[in-house]
Structure 1
């Protein structure tokens, strides 16, 4: 998982909110991420995410959405790279992981809460 490579703030984001990802070791990565939910002792891949790391707007779609794509670019530096939490995400424990970095890694757990909380 290597959470020392990527930190999510806030650690309790709301549905529809933005999370800033920072990279303490200025780790190289792409702009693609995945959002996984902790269920029954395992991590379930639920959403594909693209950050604003390439000067675009953050996008989030259900996992494996047909036709969804992103630029295959490398990003360096400390960030922040911003990703959007889906409006329809259920409250619970999640993590954000890189999806197109050479060395995949994840944040520590975050707790998504309803947007009206």
Structure 2
């Protein structure tokens, strides 16, 4: 089991290193190892997620205050985050299944939800 966990850790690090070297598609912005695209389609959260997933992407999972600040500066618009409590009212999860762990508070005046 210990060997499997070590192998998983090494493969994850190798994958992340390759992703960081990857260029973003035209019209996308890069921050860290992630690529971001803001759409002006005006869709609901569910429609936006379907739109992203159908293009091999997903709504954003925010890992740090710096990432949130970057996203908020992309455009001066409201945007959807990839967090939902659909599995249980009040129990928030990112679209990748992880629990939000960032230690910062989003201010409503700076970060929207659409």
Length-normalised TM-score, structure 1:
0.25
Indicate the structure whose relative CO is greater, using CA pairs within 8 Å and at least 6 residues apart: 1
Kindly name which structure, 1 or 2, has the bigger radius of gyration based on alpha carbons.
2
